[in-house]
Structure 1
Amino acid sequence: MTQTTANSAPAFRPAAHQTAQPADRLLHSGNAGLIVARSAQIAPGYGVRAREATRKIVESCNERCAGEATVLAYEEAFGVRDRLHWLIHLPSLEQYGALAAGGDASGLFGGQESATGVWDEMFEPGSVRDTLLIPHRWGIFGTATEAMAQDESVSPVVTDPVRGLPRFEVRPAREQTAMAPDRTLNTATAGVVMRRTVDFDYRFRAEARVFARTVAENMNLNMEGLATVYLYEEMFGRMDRAHFLIHMASLDVMYLLMGLDARTDPDAPRASFVQDWVSMEKGGGAWDRIIVQGSTRDTLFTPQNWS
């Protein structure tokens, strides 16, 4: 935890400080084409060594793979003690494959020896989990619109230049918001990041994504520069499980998000929660009908501090 002033709450140092790479060379949640979210539980007695090894490997990977991959490290807060999280940002699945083929992925995705010991020994067996996230884009999983069918410039389907077949073009999450880039936060610039995981009911998968994007943009527009929300799809995992990354300037911004949700004035954005999202042809219903009850989980990350 770093700087404290009389007019601000204590702030965690953003994860961008973990690498010497300039901002225009960093991949993060706003400009990456995919994120590999990795978590692991530190084994008893390895706390200091595991964190030291994390620092060395993150710095090494970011230097070797500058412009091709960015790794940022976080601690889990208010959850499981000594659980570490890494967000590995890449431009595409092609880049993941290229790194793996060239051997550069070993430091990103596999165990290795470090100056502090054998990496695999520092973590509880079976505790390492990888989740692949890609930014949501209109057109995926039933959210195609008439405009997409009529205008190729807004269609997510393009022709693969190598195979000549239709290809879904994933776009960076920063395109999900109308906010100017300098008024948004991401995994490199946020003081804290909350990852919210939610399961959508398959029957209403399109309606759920429209709801999710609407709620996220409501927060972005009302929390300008203080909080930014992006929506991601989980790949190679549970079907229709989505992830919100809620980037906050500091931990106390959570009070502002709670206040936004609790507002009842005529201009309050909470109308998104109470309106019907399901058509009458499907029986009608609000957001609680399109979310699998009990599936929502929040995990708070704080950037590891290199100082």
Structure 2
Amino acid sequence: MTQPNIVIPPAEQQTSVEAGDLLNSSTAGVIVERTAQVRNGFHAEGRKFARMMAEFVNVKQVGVASVFVYEETFGIKDKLHWLIHLSSLEAYEAMVHMGTSDQEYRGNVSSEQVSQDKGGGGWDKIFVDGSMQETVLMPQFWGMYGTKVDGEREKQTSVYQQQGPLTGLPGAREQVPLPVEQLVHSGNCGLLLHRTAQLEYDFRSEGRTFAREAAESINENLPGEATVFVYEEAFGAADRIHWLIHMKSLTTYYKVLALHVKDERIRDLYFQERIAPERGGGTWARMFVPGSMVDVALTPHHWGMYAT
């Protein structure tokens, strides 16, 4: 298979930690997506601060947390996205503890980030007030949140089969039966398309099945070029589905488009009746709240990006 040239350096090159020691969207048990809007006039300072804090976590929390910095490709300019990959929710507590007790970390957060010729100040001067938000994502597994598939796939998950109390979730790579070297994830992709959609409560089970099958249709046909993982939002809007669509490059998007034009089996996913007649029938379109499906394209940050 001919691999496309990667113009944008992947996010795993942002850190001094070896790629094999990093968590990513295929291995993390939790992803916290933090976003913040950089204030006009502080473009370079915002990116330097974002990368500095990400690297501090990467070095201090190997195997526990890994952070990559992304920018919106075609969206709001100077809006930064930190993808904080955690091994589990317990790892978040380790992060909180670091923020409370690690003096080096606290020193970095409280240090001057703005030069005196710009008035001086810390990180709080760099970002627009109230713009910093977080979304918690957890890898989807069959039967999650009391939903039903076919009565069999739910019992085949590692979560169902695990003995004893649940202390974490398997990474999203469990969703994709491909060799690790054929997975495209948040660490090695050139473009990450984050798609969200709100399920209609009446079709929360059917919608999850469609979400996974739509992801599988890309994974099976574009190994090594595009990989889609399905995540669920925790501590936010109930039944909001997140697809993380990882592509080797921006031009890989053409191959995804072509699949949905030329592959009749994939096209059938979108036109077949997926809702039982006794429930009114219908395609996938009835499962989601109209207008709720939104795509945000993200590019891994690299030094000098956007003339900063």
TM-score by length of 2: 0.87
1:1-307 alignment runs, 5 A limit: 11-103=7-99, 112-114=109-111, 116-117=113-114, 118-141=122-145, 142-143=147-148, 145-147=150-152, 155=160, 158-160=163-165, 167=166, 170-263=169-262, 266=264, 268-306=265-303
1:274-306: per-residue Cα shift (whole Å, max 9, x none)?
111111221211100101110011111100113
CA separation of 1:232 and 1:104: change in aligned 2, threshold 3 A: farther
CA distance in 2: counterparts of 1:108 and 1:275, whole angstroms: 53
Shift of 1:239: 1.0
What's the CA shift for 1:170? 2.2
* Partner SS for 2:266: coil
What residue ranges of structure 2 are gaps of 5+ in the alignment? 115-121
Deviations 1:216-254 (A, max 9, x none): 011001111110000000111111111100000000011
Structure 1 277/42 Cα, relative in aligned 2: closer, same or farther at 3 Å?
Answer: same
Q: How many residues are aligned here?
A: 293
Question: Residue by residue, what CA displacement relative to the aligned partner does 1:57-105 show, whole Å, maximum 9, x if unpaired?
Answer: 2111111111110000011111111111110000111111133134379
Can you list the C-alpha shifts for 1:96-138, whole angstroms capped at 9, x where unaligned? Answer: 11331343798999x9234534112110001111000000001
- Change over 3 Å in CA distance of 1:115–1:208 after alignment to 2: same
User: How far apart in 1 are the matches of 2:184 and 2:243?
Assistant: 13
User: Which structure has more helix as a fraction of its residues?
Assistant: 2
What is the CA deviation profile of residues 146-183 of structure 1, one whole-angstrom value per residue up to 9, with x for unaligned ones? Answer: 336877967266531xxxxxx48522100001121111
* Distance in 2 separating the partners of 1:230 and 1:63: 26
Conserved? CA contact 1:190–1:248, under 8 Å: yes
State the Cα RMSD in Å: 2.6
Contact 2:194 2:245 (C-alpha < 8 Å) held by counterparts: yes
Q: State whether residues 17 and 306 of structure 1, in contact with CA within 8 Å, keep that contact through their aligned partners in structure 2.
A: no
2:178 partner amino acid: M
Percent identical: 38
Q: Is the 8 A contact 2:142 2:157 kept in 1?
A: no
Is the CA contact 1:139–1:145 (under 8 Å) kept in the aligned structure 2? no
| Matching residue of 2:119 | none
Counterparts of 1:236 and 1:10 in 2: how far apart (Å)?
35
- After superposing on structure 2, the runs of 4+ consecutive aligned residues of structure 1 that deviate more than 4 Å are 7-10, 104-109, 148-154
Q: Distance in 2 between matches of 1:44 and 1:103?
A: 28
Superposition deviation, residue 56 in structure 1: 1.6
Counterparts of 1:131 and 1:32 in 2: how far apart (Å)? 15
Whole-angstrom distance in 2 between the partners of 1:205 and 1:152: 19
On the 8 A contact 1:58/1:73 being kept in 2, the answer is yes
Partners of 1:236 and 1:60 lie apart in 2 by 26
CA pair 52-216 structure 1, distance change in 2 beyond 3 A: same
TM-score (normalised: structure 1) = 0.88
